[in-house]
Structure 1
Amino acid sequence: MDHLLSLIPFDNSLSFLIYLLELAGAFLVFTFVTYWTHRIAHCWKPLWYLHEAHHSVPYKGEYEFSLLNLVGWYNDWRSTLDVWVTEVLPMAGLVLLWPATWPLAVLFYIDNVLSEGLTDHNPRINIPGLAMGKYHIEHHKDMSVNFDGYFRLWDKVFGTQRNVV
């Protein structure tokens, strides 16, 4: 753990502020990559074969957490590979390229474990700017919109955003 903490510049305020800005930039790059892998998963047959399983699950808005989420298993092998190819591998690549981004990987893990059943498909959630709940469910109704996984930024930039009420 000491080695991981040594990657974060706690020595002075300016260094730490720059580090936080770099983390924000790294997160933007990560969300850009996951946005495009999600879009590609809808039009490239090998990825669609995996991603289609995610769209076939009937989400009812109940808390659907499974202890298997803790080890990276999501409903079935196709959904699991979908998550690993479109989200886990890009995050792993980011951390391999820049080890100091490991706090993003920790937050990503927590989000991935909880979001599957708690936020992503919860029709009671509609937080402006965030791509979860009703916003993500809209993607399940019309698979040509709302590809973002975290914030609604890339949908807005690339014209695939459909707001929900």
Structure 2
Amino acid sequence: MKNITGPYKLWILIFLLLLIVAEIAWSWRNDKKSYEVKETLSNLAVLAGFQLSKIIFAGYQLIILGFFNALAPFSLPHTGWVFILTFIVTDFIYYWFHRVSHIWKPLWAFHMVHHSAMHMNLTAAYRLNWLSVLISPLFFIPAVLLGMPVDYIIISYVINLLYQFFLHTEVVDKLGVLEGIIDTPSAHRVHHGSNPLYIDKNFGGVLIIWDKLFKTYQPETEKVNYGLTTGSMGYNPFKLVFKGFADLFTGKIKLKN
């Protein structure tokens, strides 16, 4: 994994930053108001904390997956077909991980920060809970026990999250025949909507066919109202990350729906 991401990580970061700058310019020129200064700074602060948490807990994640890898009755070889299979299985697991995170309060406490953004833009993509790295490996244990290579699972999940970065935008309109097959910016805007029609829809990561299969797909048919149904949570990154846990322990937590 290190050999794959190490040399290119800086270039990927630069590329993503250039896209954000381009989106800001697009929003300003077209008066879209997709960016709000305080919220954008909050997004970047949350992102910095999330990156730090990945470094801190990297060993924990590898220990968890390595432990169950040793228990697997067999191991699949490192081939192209196995990688494709692993990618599809990882995406399927992500769908259920994401869906459960919306309907079970303990997981919603982790996920709530991501939906608290009141504007849809690329910086909101990594508005992720700093402690989510503690639970995400647990959902991929079944893939490990099925003999899928741990490095393939990790790479597939990284690609999944990187792909979703490009979905958090209003720049891209509907993509025709691709809608309903893969997750698109239009489909993901729906997912972030607090409109009654849009709540708990479109959980897919890369593929949206899981939503079609399990009846959670909703096309974008009306203007999306972003954020939580309870309104803004402010701009303090620590409050954004930990409020879900505080509300959970006090019994005040409310699901998006």
> Normalising to structure 2: TM-score of the pair?
0.44
C-alpha contact (below 8 Å) 2:182/2:206 kept by paired residues: yes
Aligned-residue offset at 1:98: 3.8
Flag structure 2 segments of 5+ consecutive residues without an equivalent. Answer: 2-76, 222-257
1:60 correspondence with 2:116: no
CA distance in 2, matches of 1:111, 1:157: 19
2:103 aligns with 43
List per-residue Cα deviations over 1:10-40 (Å, max 9, x = no partner): xxxxxxxxx3333222222222211112111
Give the deviation of 1:101 after TM superposition: 5.5
Structure with greater contact order relative to length (CA < 8 Å, sep ≥ 6): 2
Q: Say if 2:170 is the partner of 1:123.
A: yes
Aligned pairs for 1:53-132 (under 5 A) are 53-61=113-121, 63-64=122-123, 74-75=126-127, 79-82=129-132, 85-86=135-136, 88-91=137-140, 94=143, 98=147, 100=149, 102-112=151-161, 114-115=162-163, 118-125=165-172, 126-127=174-175, 128=178, 129-132=181-184
Mapped partners of 1:120, 1:84: distance in 2 = 25
For residue 131 of structure 2, what is the amino acid of its counterpart? L
Q: Which residue of 1 aligns with 2:247?
A: none
* Map of 2:220 onto structure 1: 164
Structure 1 unaligned blocks of 5 or more: 2-6, 9-18, 67-73
Q: Does 2:205 match 1:145?
A: no
Instruction: Give the structure-1-normalised TM-score.
Output: 0.64
Aligned-CA RMSD value: 3.2
Q: Which has the larger radius of gyration?
A: 2
Q: Percent identity?
A: 28
Cα distance, 1:104 vs. partner?
4.9
Cα distance per residue 1:31-76 (max 9 Å; x no partner): 2211112111111110011111111023332x4289xxxxxxx446
What are the superposed Cα offsets for residues 102-130 of structure 1, whole Å, 9 maximum, x if unpaired? 24523532553x446x4131123344122
* Change over 3 Å in CA distance of 1:162–1:49 after alignment to 2: same
Count of residue pairs the alignment pairs up? 137
